[in-house]
Structure 1
Amino acid sequence: MSIPYDESLIWIVVVGFIVAFVLAFGIGANDVANSFGTSVGAGVLTIFKACVLATIFEIAGAVLIGYKVSDTMRKGILDVSLYEGHEKELMLGALCSLAGSGIWLLLATALRLPISGTHSIVGATVGFSLVCRGTAGVRWITLLNIAISWFASPILSGMVSSIIFWSLKTFILHSNAPLERGLFSLPIAYGLTVAINVMSIAHDGPKLLMLDRLPWWGSLLISLTVGISTATIVYVFVVPWQRMKVLEGSNEETAIEYNASNNRKDTTVLSVISEAQASGNGTMAEETPKLRNNTSASPLLMAAGPEADQMEGDDKDDEPVEISRLFSFLQVLTATFGSFAHGGNDVSNAIGPLIALWAVYAEGSAKQEADTPLLILLYGGLGISAGLWVWGRRVIQTLGKDLARITPTTGFTIEVGAAVTVLLASKAGLPVSTTHCKVGSVVCVGWASRGGEGVSWKLFRNIAFAWLITVPVAACLSAGFMAIFRELIAL
């Protein structure tokens, strides 16, 4: 057994921290922007505000709920007992995992491919272990459970989002009074969202807050209390404010449309008269409904030329404008919810191997008995946030606009469904892919709202292909690095 704090191994720790930060940077650039893609694309948030919110909630999620998935990543996949007496080999293996995963993730981000950081780090971990211990070094049952969750998570996330969307469509969008129904649903939506988030923290929570000693019924009571309090505040203060803002926005739009229609009045009338004269069998009475329809349309839809026809065709299935405004505010909450869930789940991809490396160096043992250090979780959260600030804009376009056309209501259902799925997986210790969950929700809701034409199936095919090659590519990179180390360094 190695001596704890062996000075000769400090270089592995230093390099490991650097590579882990680079990996976290890549995860932030590739994944974190997914949470705020719909909000930024809809104009609800600016890039700067989205980055600020993501930084706060990514770090909070990493510190408060990231410890459990990190334990799975560093102790569940590998049989670490096989490395007792060979701690240096395990440390180098963890370093190879970080390097192999980080290189592939950065390359994929440069190519604008939204891959899974979870896939990448799991594949890299298996890769170095196959070089060191062959098939005996991998816990195949645990790996199988993780692999099943990869395929189950997009389906589950898509189902949850579709159910939420169906509920909104049935009880709000297709009702006789969609605005009042929407305002009525706001306290419920806010309350449930906050309650689920609090429950994810309070149940079997971090030891730092002594929440690990709290019984399940205590966690449930706290989450229900906070959720009901939030719903009450929203009902008393937010709903009246929202009603006022929506009505003010409707009045402003009406005034703009009226002015725009007056400016075009003469041109439109001449156009109608000309068409009637050219046809020879039409009358002004027959053409008047067209004029009325044109003058009541949105200014964007009144633009001349084929572009207007195309835009009108694109917007024909949208929800009422006032509902779009109503749910655009709620998107901010669901985006932060998704960001919190991402921080809790995906921070483990960056710092799981780093914690394993640190534990071996600090304890001098491969047993991995120490708890996950909160400071290292914080370090991973900071790296993820840095990636978002510097490179996060690259993937907002893909999942925020290109894969499917997203409105405020569909964006809300997509984000809630994906975030709930990721949070449940985090509490179960399963490192599911947030990318898989978000893509599953986008595809299912896009199909549910607009049919087969609502999804870019070509883009989805490319994303699915990137998912398939991530595990073997990361595994090969990690295995290659480990083979080089075994040749250069006596182990």
Structure 2
Amino acid sequence: QTFIWLMMAALLAAALWLNIATAMGAPVSTTHSIVGGVLGAGVAAGGFGVANWPMMGKIAASWVISPVMGGAIAAGFLLLIKRTILYKDNKRQAAQKMVPVYLAIMGWAFTTYLVLKGLKHIHKFPMSQALLIGLVAGVGVFFVTGVLLRKQGEKLENSKSGVDKLFVIPLIVSAAFLSFAHGANDVANAVGPLAAINTAVANAAGSGTITTKVAIPLWVMAIGALGIATGLALYGPKLIKTVGQEITELDMARGFCVALAAAITVIIASQYGLPVSSTHIAVGAVFGVGFLREHLQSNYNRNIAKIRKHMHDENEDEETITAFLARFEAASVAEKKRVLRELKEKAKHEEFSWAQRRRFKKAYKAKLIERSMLWKIVAAWVFTVPLSGVLAAALYYMIRGYMLP
């Protein structure tokens, strides 16, 4: 009876917290909510000694590991795409050369991710097999996309928007793969307590013992599938807006980097046994993309300001400065680099104090991430396990008080 009450309290607490957080627009981890619920109800039922605190330490570490890894990988891929395609004068040629490479990486990453995370409840593949299956898929994607891009030839627009269009279908496919694997994992976690209750009830009617292995009947999985579909229909648009629009602006290439980072982070974490959350990885990847954009835009703003200051020092009038900056904006990347190198050489003779440099840097810092959203999400993540635990403990005492004679 105690075990059933405990799992019921954990399930209700996790569901309650997830609904509250989602209604607030905070993308929190289902897995962490369930873990917090089980922990809180378990401590309430058996004391602090029943908890596996080293495991809880790993889960707490994932609050940092997941978003940082996801953000770093997403930012790295976006920077690569910018340097190898978007910063090139001939974007069409660069895209035909490099996009198949990125899509091959996507094919490898998502196939491996799918095998490791999405199919683990059907058959558990070792890492070596998953990587090999992913490699085969990646090679296939490379050759197919290479042929398709060569056929497009001159039809491909030589612009950022033209390159962006190449990531539309891969982004849709990657979103589908992520949803499948994420759903497979999160539904299993969400219905875990329900399956445990079902097994406990069945055992109570039979042997009267509690087993360590829990059978998951089809009806339990069906409830989980129905729940995740209903939740997506009701709360999905709100969270999609939060992650896709309110944190930072995403285009196709940036979204592709976010999805790719999520898959690769899970692969790395699986290899090294790091506890990570798919939700935290994806949101962290969005923040990583946003922070990279801020960094690049801030550098660009400072360079424009330095050019303007230098020309003012040379006694150039405002009309000349404006015309020069317009030409600078329209110049090729190579030409911009040349101008900035010359400016840097001239600036070596100018002396600035640390305070002056700091003020200059702060004045032209771009803010492309909504800071209030950042702190809101971080707070929700930090409080997920404690709050769901407290809720579960309270619900356990309520259930026990009601059920006991």
Partner of 2:144: 233
TM-score by length of 2: 0.73
Contact map agreement 1:120 1:471 (CA 8 A) in 2:
yes
Amino acid at match of 1:233: V
The structure-2 alpha-carbon separation of the partners of 1:485 and 1:428, relative to structure 1 and needing over 3 Å to count, comes to farther
Q: 1:138 to 1:109 in 2, by over 3 A?
A: same
Is residue 150 of structure 1 aligned with residue 31 of structure 2?
A: no
The DSSP-based 3-state class of the residue aligned with 1:454 is coil
**Which amino acid letter does the alignment assign opposite residue 98 of structure 2?**
S
CA displacement, residues 226-271 of structure 1 (integer Å, 9 cap, x when unaligned) = 32223222222x3246557644xx8xxxxxxxxxxxxxxxxxxxxx
Instruction: Tell me which residue corresponds to 1:360.
Output: 200
Structure 1 residue 431: deviation in Å? 6.1
Pair 1:490–1:207, CA change in 2 (3 A): same
What is residue 390 of structure 2 aligned with on the other side?
A: 476
Q: Report what 1:489 is aligned to.
A: 403
Contact 2:110-2:174 within 8 A present in 1 as well? no
Q: Decide whether aligned partners of structure 1 residues 457 and 136 sit closer, same or farther in structure 2, where only a CA change above 3 A counts.
A: same
> What is the alpha-carbon distance in structure 2 between the residues aligned to residue 413 and residue 206 of structure 1?
23
Counterparts of 1:61-460 in structure 2, within 5 Å, are 88-202=1-115, 211-212=123-124, 217-236=128-147, 238-240=148-150, 246-247=156-157, 320-364=160-204, 365-370=209-214, 376-377=220-221, 379-422=223-266, 424-425=268-269, 432-451=276-295, 452-460=366-374
Change (3 A) 1:222 1:114: closer
Give SS of 2:191's match.
helix
State the AA in 2 paired with 1:235: G
**Structure 1 residue 483: Cα displacement:** 0.5
Deviation at 1:369, TM superposition (A): 2.2
Query: Alignment RMSD, CA only?
Result: 2.9
**1:334 shift after superposition:** 2.5
Q: AA paired with 1:110?
A: A
Percent identical among aligned pairs is 30
Whole-angstrom distance in 2 between the partners of 1:204 and 1:112: 26
Query: What displacement does 1:414 show?
Result: 1.5
2:118 touches 2:180 (CA, 8 Å); kept in 1? no
Q: Indicate the larger mover: 398-407 or 443-452.
A: 443-452
Q: C-alpha separation between the residues in 1 aligned to 2:152 and 2:187? A: 35
- AA paired with 1:145? K
1:375-434 CA deviation, whole Å, 9 max, x = no partner? 644542332122112331112221111111112221211121123324554687766333
Shift in Å, 1:96: 0.7
Q: Would you say the 8 A contact 2:84–2:98 is kept in 1?
A: no
Alpha-carbon distance change, 223 to 116 in structure 1, aligned in 2, over 3 angstroms: closer
Mapped partners of 1:414, 1:100: distance in 2 = 30
Matched to 2:97, the amino acid is F
The amino acid of 2:23's aligned partner reads: A
Q: Give, as a single letter, the amino acid of the residue that structure 1 aligns with 2:229.
A: S
Instruction: State the alpha-carbon separation in 2 of the partners of residues 205 and 403 from structure 1.
Output: 27
Q: Which letter does structure 2 place at the counterpart of 1:469? A: F
2:145 maps to amino acid:
V
Please tell me the residue identity of whatever aligns with 1:467: W
1:467 equivalent to 2:381? Answer yes
Name the SS of the counterpart of 1:115 in structure 2: coil
1:160-207 CA distance string (max 9 Å, x none): 111111211111111232222223233323332222333345469858
Does the C-alpha gap of structure 1 residues 242 and 333 become closer, same or farther in structure 2, counting only changes over 3 Å?
farther
* Structure 1 residue 99: Cα displacement: 0.5
Contact 2:196 2:214 in 1 (8 A): no
The answer to whether the Cα contact below 8 Å between 2:14 and 2:33 also exists between their aligned partners in 1 is yes
Q: Deviations over 1:321-344 (max 9, x none)?
A: 212222233321222232233223
The offset of 1:141, in angstroms, is 1.0
Q: 1:217 to 1:327 in 2, by over 3 A?
A: closer
Give aligned pairs, total. Answer: 331
Q: Which has the higher relative contact order, 1 or 2, with Cα contacts under 8 A spaced 6 or more apart?
A: 1
5+ residue gaps, structure 2, are 296-365
Over 3 Å counting, the alpha-carbon distance change for 1:208 and 1:147 in structure 2 is closer
Note closer, same or farther for the CA distance 1:179–1:458 as it changes in structure 2 (3 Å cut): same
CA distance in 1 between counterparts of 2:198 and 2:273 reads 21
Give unpaired runs (5+ residues) of structure 1. 1-87, 251-318
**CA-to-partner distance for each residue in 1:308-364, whole Å, 9 max, x for gaps?**
xxxxxxxxxxx7221222223332122223223322332233112122222222344
